[in-house]
């Protein structure tokens, strides 16, 4: 079986590319949403592995609320007008 490999020039270009400051800022802005999604997933996995208890159900509800709040905060930040560049 032949596995195609990228052109060496293209691979070299990809190796030197690093995230820009704007890319890092976007990741940083989305980090609360990412963390909340991981916490919700962790709570849901816990419920799958064991019988559902009131504590586990409460943990899932709390994680869902935290994720919704993080998404709302991100949407509000993204809807604000950008400062003028002088």
pLDDT, tens only, 9-63: 566 566 578 889 889 988 999 999 999 999 999 999 989 988 889 999 999 999 9
1 — pLDDT class (breaks 50, 70, 90): low
Q: What pLDDT, on the 0 to 100 scale, is given for residue 29?
A: 92
SS in 3 state form for the chain?
CCCCCCCHHHHHHHHHCCCCHHHHHHHHHHHHHHHHHHHHHHHHHHHHHCCCCHHHHHHHHHHHHHHHHHHHHHHHHHHCCCCCCC
Considering the entire predicted model, what is its pTM? Answer: 0.69
| The pLDDT of residue 82 | 61
């Amino acid at each position: 079986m032949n596995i195609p490999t990228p052109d060496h020039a293209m691979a070299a270009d990809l190796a030197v590319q690093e995230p820009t400051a704007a890319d890092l800022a976007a990741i940083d802005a989305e980090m609360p949403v990412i963390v909340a999604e991981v916490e919700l997933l962790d709570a849901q996995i816990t419920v799958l592995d064991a019988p559902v208890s009131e504590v586990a159900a409460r943990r899932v509800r709390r994680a869902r609320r935290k994720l919704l709040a993080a998404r709302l905060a991100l949407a509000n930040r993204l809807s604000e007008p950008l400062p003028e560049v002088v």
